[in-house]
Amino acid sequence: MRQLLTVFSILLLATLFSVQSFAQSKAEVERRLMVEDSYEASYGQLFNEAAYFRGDTFLNEYTNVIVINKAANKQTLRLYTNRQLMLSTKVSTGREDVEHIGAVRGVFNKIFKGTTQSHWRHTTRGFYTIKRVEGYNYRSGESKFHMPYAMFFNDRRGLAVHQVPPDLSGGEAAGEYALGSRASSGCVRVHKNYIQQIHTAVLAADKGQIPVLSTKTGQAQLDEYGRVRYERGYKTIVIVEEY
């Protein structure tokens, strides 16, 4: 009997140690991953709608301005084209937590579908021009998730505005039901009834000479002579704010 109690005590201590080690490991992963990038804007309202409507900002040199509020109780997207509000709709941005991918799940995801690394499901704040535009059949390079009409604005983190994926766990309807709340891995999900309007507007605006703006402040960047820098790119800018 005494031996059984000893064995039970050892097993109990081992279990408690394993749980504690797992919690510490999990906390360490979160501390390592949940670090904002140097280019990320601060909390608060970034888009000055009044100045934009007056034509008093460098944003007016873009054909389209897409404004996303990622605040947990807001979760909205507005599309402005040539100083006119064209669309306002609910979206889902990143969950703002860490998705922990263990060794077993990592192997499973590699074989089937899904990311193989633990990651912060975070939507970065700031001013970002559209970098590339994909069609309905686009799938992400690593996870292979379907991202219809993806319009990438932050290639460093692989963030895009796209339709709610039809192949989400629980089905597309579950993803659409979640719109208006944080639910993604960092991308901005839009209902299928509205994504094509945004996609069409971005393609119609096409590319041209655009001012280079700071991702943190939206202020124009200057060259060595103190003149505003310009480059060729999509004439659509995405502003992600949180207030």
Residue 199's Cβ-count burial label (10 Å; 0-12, 13-18, 19+) is: buried
Q: How far is CA 163 from the centre of its chain?
A: 13
The single residue listed with the structure tokens 């960092």 is 186
pLDDT score of 1 more than 90: no
**Residue 22, pLDDT score:** 45
Band the pLDDT of 15: cuts 50, 70, 90.
very low
- Give the pLDDT confidence of 53-94 residue by residue, as tens digits: 999 999 999 999 999 999 999 999 999 999 999 999 999 999
Q: How far apart are CA 156 and CA 134, in angstroms?
A: 17
Burial per residue of 67-99, b for 16 or more beta-carbon CB atoms within 10 angstroms, e otherwise: bbbbeeeebbbbbbbeeeeeeebbbbbbbeebe
> What is the torsional sign of CA 108, 113, 119, 120?
negative
Q: How far apart are CA 201 and CA 185, in angstroms?
A: 25
What tokens does 121 get?
């499901």
Average of pLDDT values for 203-213?
98
**Residue 29, pLDDT score:** 86
Residue closest to 120 by CA, chosen among 56, 24, 26: 26
**Residue 11, pLDDT score:** 41
**156 vs 40, 73, 139, 177, 214, CA distance in Å?**
12, 27, 17, 29, 16
Q: Model-level pTM?
A: 0.86
User: Could you tell me if 124 and 159 are in contact, meaning their C-beta atoms sit under 8 angstroms apart?
Assistant: yes
Element (H, E) at 144: none
Q: How far is CA 121 from the centre of its chain?
A: 8
User: Could you tell me if 85 and 65 are in contact, meaning their C-beta atoms sit under 8 angstroms apart?
Assistant: no
**Residue 173, pLDDT score:** 80
What tokens does 204 get?
């119609």
Band the pLDDT of 140: cuts 50, 70, 90.
confident
Could you give the angle at the alpha carbon of 183 between the alpha carbons of 178 and 188, nearest 5°?
100
**Residue 2, pLDDT score:** 54
Q: Which domains does the chain have, with CATH numbers?
A: 49-241 (2.40.440.10)
Band the pLDDT of 239: cuts 50, 70, 90.
very high
- Give the pLDDT confidence of 147-168 residue by residue, as tens digits: 999 999 999 999 999 999 987 6
The single residue listed with the structure tokens 């949180």 is 242
Average of pLDDT values for 108-132?
83
Choice between 107 and 156, residue whose per-residue pLDDT is larger: 156
User: Could you tell me if 237 and 211 are in contact, meaning their C-beta atoms sit under 8 angstroms apart?
Assistant: no
